[in-house]
Amino acid sequence: MAAQPQRYGQPRPTEERYLEIQQALASRGYLQREPASDWRPDCEEALKRFQKDQNLPPNGRITALSLIALGLGPKRNADAVTAAVPSP
């Protein structure tokens, strides 16, 4: 049986995450259309303009710093965080 190739880097965002990012860009005036659950070239251009205005590298990539600037910091599993915090 052949081994599966190992993948590196960040996983591709879910459709729900793309929608959240586009909603954040639209609410700030960077995306000029109704947000959708896919990533199109106009999304990348909107993100580049936002990144430039935030003094981030304007590469159009969905990075942690860009998400934080949009108010969409890392998604965490709340149950896992709660379980990891010891009770007093």
Question: Which uninterrupted H or E stretch holds 27?
Answer: helix 15-27
Percent of the residues in the chain that have a pLDDT greater than 90, as a whole number: 67
Which tokens sit at 34? 């109704």
Tally of residues, the chain: 88
Per-residue pLDDT at 53 exceeds 50: yes
* pTM given for the model: 0.73
66 — pLDDT class (breaks 50, 70, 90) = very high
CA 43 to CA 18: how far, in whole Å? Answer: 9
CA 27 to CA 2: how far, in whole Å? Answer: 47
Domain boundaries, the chain: 38-74
Mean of pLDDT values over 63-84: 73
Contact in structure between 34 and 59 (CB atoms under 8 Å): no
